[in-house]
Amino acid sequence: MFEFELPDLGEGVAEGEVLAWHVAAGDSVEEDQVLAEVETDKAAVDVPSPVDGVVRELHADVGDIVATGEVLVTIEAGEAPESESSTESVTGSDGEVVETSADETAADGRVFAPPSVRRLARERGVDITAVEGSGPSGRITEADVAAADRAADADDEPAVKSAVRRVATEPMAERRDHTLATPATRRLARELGVDIDAVPTDETRDGEAYVDAAAVRAMAEREAADDEIPDEDVRAVTEQVVSELRETADEVGAEPTPIEASDGDRREPYRGVRRTIGEQMARSRREVPHATHHDMVAVPGLVEARERLQPLAEERGVHLTYTPLLLKCVAAALDDHPILATQLDTESEEIVYRRDRAIGVATATDHGLVVPVVEAVDEKGLLELTAELDDLVSRARSRDIAREEMQGGVFTVTNFGAIGGEYADPVINVPETAILGVGAIKERPIAESGEVTAQPTLTLSLAIDHRVIDGADAARFVTTLKSYLSEPTRLLLD
């Protein structure tokens, strides 16, 4: 029997509350399958199974607090199914079926690594059971897998010979993470012993590198010429390559330098919501090429509309702010420019155009920035929208908001003007592809018909995912949004 203990869920976290079980006694489970959902400081995480097998006993009920290292579930472990070389099939723009490369592996050891790290190990052909984890409690990180991959390349003779040839004849090319090729071309590469991700190519399909059979054969011929390189050159360049690889591996796997505190400094744990926000922001900046479009709009019509509607709203016990009006204008602009209401599915390599108008509203709280999502903004009246938004924000600040109420948004609005500032470079809330930052409404000089007057204005900062949205799309969206903000009565025409 395998006694699976609650793993370390993050630095400084000593316990977690079981929110939900996704398995029961007697269920068969696979490695990486989610067993339970556990929450620490309002940050919920999925706990995956480290092995294949059958669940024999759950050692905690929903609502129980389980300490790190305490047995969570007993699993009768079985043999992990052997896996052959895995590939992803993708249809190119011309209808031809091609595959993305994925190396052969059988990572079936009982190790502690999150699903994303296990997937990276499979993609790079790294035996994860042989990787030494540098994370908390021996957790294997992406950096550990990357270091093991480089070390394996250093010991692989064909790879070294290929590196010798590149150093001797041309600048060293980087190995791609993904390559498109037909099944026949991929089979030819395996027969010739060619690493298809290292084959030089200028051809692309849908933005991904594409390799054909001729390129594979040319690569094989060049690698065959490695045998003609003098032994002394091989030894010299091999030592250089191995040294560089080891230095890179050391840098990737190096532990962070501890920060020394002095008298008067204060420390607090980096965990819970704050850590979740940090990881989400780091992921967004790491994966998404941000581009930000800045603009300003005169909004006397918006100010006048709120002033007219506010007394009517107060008669019904509702305090009307500018935010519900802003959300209605954003929803209307999204209808006109649906490319801004998209999500990028990197697994299937598809852009998902969302039909709903669920808009997230970034909210500053004592425990960090959270983003409650207002559903169906386009279908709600101002009073209903105001009441729902007030309720979500209030519960977000009191930590009484459900996780599901902060998911599923298609677009996010953040109002930094309430705190101070005019323009910003907001970070996109992935997998969304855009976020709008707005400044404070204040009087600024506006030139019209040769005269300068003071008018209420609003500053706009639209950040986009440049993989999906072009700068021209961003400019057109902002232009449409400005027209609604300057004259909100246009919404009555729809």
Residues tagged active-site: 466, 470
Burial (CB count <10 Å: 0-12, 13-18, 19+), residue 142:
middle
Q: Residues 453, 444: contact at Cβ < 8 Å?
A: no
Give the CA diameter of the chain.
91
For 209, the 3-state DSSP assignment is: strand
Q: Which helix (H) or strand (E) holds 204?
A: strand 204-205
Q: Residues 215, 201: contact at Cβ < 8 Å?
A: yes
Burial 226-257 (b: 16+ CB within 10 A, else e): beeeeeeebeebbeebbeebeeebeebbeeee
Question: In residues, how long is the chain?
Answer: 494
| Residue position matching structure tokens 């590149």 | 166
- Copy the structure tokens of residue 44: 């919920």
Distance CA 488, CA 304 (A): 10
Are β-strands 71-77 and 65-67 bridged in parallel, bridged antiparallel, or unpaired?
Answer: unpaired
Cα–Cα distances in Å, from 78 out to 131, 244, 391?
A: 21, 41, 49
Rg, the chain, Cα only:
28
Non-local (6+) Cβ contacts of 472 within 8 A are none
β-bridge partners, 18? 38
Distance CA 190, CA 180 (A): 15
Distance from CA of residue 271 to its chain's centroid? Answer: 19
Please spell the DSSP secondary structure of 50-94, one letter per residue.
SS-EEEEEE---TT-EEETTSEEEEEEE-PPPP-----EEEE-TT
152: amino acid identity, one letter: A
Q: Residues 181, 205: contact at Cβ < 8 Å?
A: no
Torsion sign over Cα 85, 86, 87, 89: positive
Q: In this structure, what are the phi and psi dihedrals at residue 178, rounded to the nearest 5 degrees? A: -140, 140
